[in-house]
Structure 1
Amino acid sequence: MSQILNFLQGHLFHNFGAQNSGLSPTLLPLKSCFPNRKRVRIFLLQVNSKLVNHIEQSLPDNKAEACDRDELYSFPHVQTLSKFPKEELFRKVVMVRFDSSILLLGKKEYQSPPASALSTIKYLHKAGAKVILVGSWSWDNNLRLSSAESAAEFLSSMLKLKVVPMKLVSRSTHSQMEYGENSDVLLLENLSEIKMELANCSKFAKELASGVDIFVNDAFSQSHKVLASTVGVACFCSACIAGFYFEEGLYQLKKITRTTNRPYVAIIGGRNLAGKAAALRFLASKCDALVFVGSMAFQIMHAMGVPVPVKLVELGALKEAVSIVESANSRNVPIVLPKDFWCMNDVFPEQLEIFSIDSMLDGWRPVDLGPLSLQKIIPLLSKCKKILCIGPLKFSSSRQEEVGVSKLAEVLNSLTQSTCDVTFVGKMEFGGLLRKSTSVSVDNFVKNTSVVWEFLKGKRLPGLMALDRHSLSGLSGATRECLLIVVPLKIQLDFWGRAVSEIQN
């Protein structure tokens, strides 16, 4: 963070000129600095109104705050690899930020990596580009990939190319690299534990991009985060484009917001209603019905005056739940809630019983939809032309066999074979459909739940906005670099504000 602030002081304000000398910031140092959890130092950039106005005027479409609902239909101007002149890739050093969440999970997943994620790298290599792969992966996901060497070996088998691991060293590394028979593609070391990567450090991003001609972002699952390898590097490369897999993710986002197919129903699972309220209000404004089948259903029941066991009520969610109900009522959008549940005994997990919400006994917790709930939901879905299924449908992480969820999955599977457009968001238990069904394809799935939730909230996605060259084309180099850092910082303003309050308390 300190590097970013120094960069701002040394470049942004110098670039504005002497007439704007009143734009100097004030740094407010607080206690401690990461990584120590007990002591956290947060530097806040306090800027006067002139600087804020300058930033907002320079980037009128890139405000980090929640945008107007209608703006969700307007996407930034992003150049894609599919439309980039292939001849301009020859002998260029191209850095690819790949999506490790789909490339490095191997046999732990129910499917092979999407062809588009592999084809981005293969396409660049075939076009004669010098390809450098950059990513971050968790060793917990696959112990076989505990080192860059093992990850390179795994990628070599997937890509049918020789992937060679390389240490991240000096700035001149990329420009001096030699490519030959033994190094078709280079893989930089794992960035997951590098603090400068997580802090979007400008100096680190500049070193990462040193010698790189073209940056290709193919890590769609990371587009809601502010990272040096997705946001910071964008201002140090002559061209920034979206890879094939990233482009598919953008298509899925646009597909979710389209409302031409009616009736359009959203099936909503999961928990944390308070954190997703803005997204749920948006869905209430666009969909023809909201079907709650996860833990958020209890918060909606609570807001509608239905008695709910205290243990199922989410603290601090009542106000937001009421606002969602009011938003739906304002458009006469029906809210469909479960009528009964399969419940598990807390003491004897093998015991399952069916309860309604008002007859649920102490010592039992809901784990799945009951038969009456399915009788209410399935006829509604059979009339739909478009369905968005977002979030896990289970009420808990129980390993017991979920009868209701399996039945609902079968119904949705049959609908994909008709004229109904079904989109599944999240890994969920629906992943098994790809093994069993011939009609459900990867095109029906969007794995990156967090990205979709942030998008539906109206938030700008930093990784996506960093690829927007159109709105930055008229700015000088130093100002463009600084704005690409300032805007993502503004995205996290609410988070830092809450963190400061917690630290001070």
Structure 2
Amino acid sequence: MAGKFYTIDDFDVEGKTVLLRIDINSPVDPNTGVILDDTRMKLHVKTITELARKGARVILLAHQSRPGKKDFTTLRQHSKVLTRLLNRKVHYVDSIFSTPAKIAINNLRPGEVLLLENVRFFAEESLKRPVEQQAQSIIVRELSPLIDFFVNDAFAAAHRGQVSLVGFTLNTPSAAGRVMEHELNVIMNTLDNVESPCVFALGGMKADDSIMVAKNVCKNGTADYVLTSGLVANIFLAAAGYDIGQVNMDFIKSQGYIDQIDVCKRLLEEYPDNIIYPEDVAIEKDEERVDVPVDNIPNYSIFDIGKKTSARYSKIILNAKTIFANGPAGVFEDSRFSIGTEDIINSIASSKGYSIIGGGHIGAATVSMGYENKVDHVSSGGGACINLLAGKKLDAVEALIDNKSRHVYH
């Protein structure tokens, strides 16, 4: 995607004020407010440091969780963690565009960094509207006169068209930060230059997204094999006519995916050689893991792919030249049912093929196994990554592309 949007390299930021949208949404202890994992913050160190070293006044705009959740909180702790990671003071103001926030912005000196309050405290952030309307939002009207450039580095949120992600791009010179730039280039370049055999290992709980990816990559000929696991596999098994047990059918229904069974039936009819579902699954019986063949599943919850399936999937992955993986194969947090996920990650790490692992749970599992350096790319954004794989356009990226197409900046 290089050249479609501006990057930091296109702008002279020395002495300028840069509004930098980052994604530092992190696990937080709801009782103490202590941040439990700083992985996402570490990702943005490169972009923030580069802008500060080039003499920009850097204003950070970010979100934490969403209203109604226990970890929906201020960004005070985030500023302290960022200060440690950047080895430079990150000032914090507990508002977004109030008078104290504007004073703090105006008092910034070149090379200094200021973190504004959680942007989701601002009600308009939750509204879905066209970019032209987002640009009329109060936050954009209040902050735009104070900034020279807008830089979006929040790849993990790039599939959302919220105010803080697209609103500033209409009239402000806008660029992708280093995280955004790297993610888009790696994923899109790989999709554009797929080597065969190409394998997509799709699992997890967001079944409709994975099914959409399966449809897209089979239709356009990208995938030689789609290996299904997790809830995705259960839906394909039901579509293939297997009795997966009422408890599992009820769960599919409770998640709002009952209509996906018919979608999967059509996919299996169209791509019978490409889409592979499990031959055995793991259930919990008497607090033990029990592997059962798919033609004899008792009415117990399915928690993992079976060991035979895991071995078959691993063999296919080991022979692949391009591998995409998104979503765990089962309830990997429980050691009894982590075999499928671990085997898939192990085989990806051992494969000589080029590998991309989506964000979210499978990305976390890859890191926890110490394999992040044995795969080619672990994406920072599960939702954004899977949207790209499904052939969807990302709202925040389209806004950056549109910004460059409409404006020439010197």
User: Does the alignment reach a TM-score above 0.5?
Assistant: yes
Contact 2:358–2:386 (CA under 8 A) maintained in structure 1? no
In our comparison, the structure showing a higher alpha carbon Rg is 1
Instruction: State the secondary structure of the residue aligned to 1:281.
Output: helix
Please give the alpha-carbon distance, in whole angstroms, between the structure 1 residues aligned to 2:312 and 2:233: 15
- Tell me the number of residue pairs that the alignment of Structure 1 and Structure 2 aligns: 384
Contact 1:170–1:207 (CA under 8 A) maintained in structure 2? no
Which deviates the most, 168-177 or 156-165?
168-177
Which amino acid in 2 is paired with 1:243?
G
Contact 1:266–1:287 (CA under 8 A) maintained in structure 2? yes
Does residue 404 in structure 1 map to residue 340 in structure 2? yes
2:274 is aligned to: 334
Contact 1:387–1:421 (CA under 8 A) maintained in structure 2? yes
1:479 is aligned to: none
Which amino acid in 2 is paired with 1:376?
R
Aligned in 2, Cα 1:265/1:114: closer, same or farther, shift over 3 Å?
Answer: farther
Please give the alpha-carbon distance, in whole angstroms, between the structure 1 residues aligned to 2:45 and 2:70: 19
Which deviates the most, 389-398 or 245-254?
389-398
Alignment of 1:341-360 (within 5 A): 341-345=281-285, 348=286, 350-360=287-297
Contact 2:41–2:82 (CA under 8 A) maintained in structure 1? no
Please give the alpha-carbon distance, in whole angstroms, between the structure 2 residues aligned to 1:414 and 1:441: 8
Please give the alpha-carbon distance, in whole angstroms, between the structure 1 residues aligned to 2:80 and 2:364: 27
Give the CA deviation at 1:343: 0.9
1:452-489, Cα deviation, whole Å (9 max, x unpaired): 23223333211111112243249xxxxxxxxxxxxxxx
1:99 is aligned to: 23
Does residue 268 in structure 1 map to residue 205 in structure 2? no
Instruction: State the secondary structure of the residue aligned to 2:282.
Output: strand
Please give the alpha-carbon distance, in whole angstroms, between the structure 2 residues aligned to 1:463 and 1:382: 35
Does residue 295 in structure 1 map to residue 224 in structure 2? no
Does residue 245 in structure 1 map to residue 182 in structure 2? no
Does residue 119 in structure 1 map to residue 56 in structure 2? no
Give the CA deviation at 1:392: 2.1
Aligned in 2, Cα 1:103/1:307: closer, same or farther, shift over 3 Å?
Answer: closer
Alignment of 1:383-402 (within 5 A): 383-394=319-330, 398=334, 400-402=336-338
Which amino acid in 1 is paired with 2:21?
R
Contact 1:153–1:163 (CA under 8 A) maintained in structure 2? yes
Contact 2:160–2:396 (CA under 8 A) maintained in structure 1? yes
Give the CA deviation at 1:96: 0.5
Identify the match of residue 198 of structure 1 among 126, 135, 141: 126
Which amino acid in 2 is paired with 1:215?
F
Which amino acid in 2 is paired with 1:118?
V
Does residue 471 in structure 1 map to residue 405 in structure 2? yes
- Structure 1's unaligned 5+ residue stretches are 1-73, 475-505
2:255 is aligned to: none
1:154-180, Cα deviation, whole Å (9 max, x unpaired): 211111111111232159927971235
Aligned in 2, Cα 1:151/1:434: closer, same or farther, shift over 3 Å?
Answer: closer
2:64 is aligned to: 137
Contact 1:265–1:387 (CA under 8 A) maintained in structure 2? yes
Give the CA deviation at 1:296: 1.4
1:333-382, Cα deviation, whole Å (9 max, x unpaired): 4322211122113xx4x2222211222222x2221222221232222222
Aligned in 2, Cα 1:405/1:172: closer, same or farther, shift over 3 Å?
Answer: closer
Does residue 316 in structure 1 map to residue 224 in structure 2? no
Aligned in 2, Cα 1:162/1:267: closer, same or farther, shift over 3 Å?
Answer: same
Does residue 216 in structure 1 map to residue 151 in structure 2? yes
Give the CA deviation at 1:302: 2.5
Please give the alpha-carbon distance, in whole angstroms, between the structure 1 residues aligned to 2:283 and 2:114: 51
Aligned in 2, Cα 1:293/1:203: closer, same or farther, shift over 3 Å?
Answer: closer
Instruction: State the secondary structure of the residue aligned to 1:101.
Output: coil
Instruction: State the secondary structure of the residue aligned to 1:254.
Output: helix
Does residue 457 in structure 1 map to residue 378 in structure 2? no
Aligned in 2, Cα 1:317/1:119: closer, same or farther, shift over 3 Å?
Answer: same
1:111-152, Cα deviation, whole Å (9 max, x unpaired): 745765101111111111111111111399996x94343322
Alignment of 1:276-295 (within 5 A): 276-285=210-219, 286-295=222-231
Instruction: Indicate the percent of aligned positions where both proteins have the same amino acid.
Output: 20
Please give the alpha-carbon distance, in whole angstroms, between the structure 2 residues aligned to 1:423 and 1:189: 33
**Aligned Cα root-mean-square deviation (Å):** 3.2
Please give the alpha-carbon distance, in whole angstroms, between the structure 2 residues aligned to 1:429 and 1:79: 31
Please give the alpha-carbon distance, in whole angstroms, between the structure 1 residues aligned to 2:108 and 2:100: 18
Aligned in 2, Cα 1:126/1:103: closer, same or farther, shift over 3 Å?
Answer: farther
Which amino acid in 2 is paired with 1:351?
E
Please give the alpha-carbon distance, in whole angstroms, between the structure 1 residues aligned to 2:75 and 2:230: 39
1:63-87, Cα deviation, whole Å (9 max, x unpaired): xxxxxxxxxxx78821111x224xx
Aligned in 2, Cα 1:432/1:325: closer, same or farther, shift over 3 Å?
Answer: closer
Please give the alpha-carbon distance, in whole angstroms, between the structure 1 residues aligned to 2:215 and 2:174: 34
Identify the match of residue 84 of structure 1 among 7, 10, 22: 10
Give the CA deviation at 1:229: 1.1
- Structure 2's unaligned 5+ residue stretches are 128-133, 253-257
Please give the alpha-carbon distance, in whole angstroms, between the structure 1 residues aligned to 2:14 and 2:79: 23
Please give the alpha-carbon distance, in whole angstroms, between the structure 2 residues aligned to 1:226 and 1:194: 15
Aligned in 2, Cα 1:409/1:441: closer, same or farther, shift over 3 Å?
Answer: closer
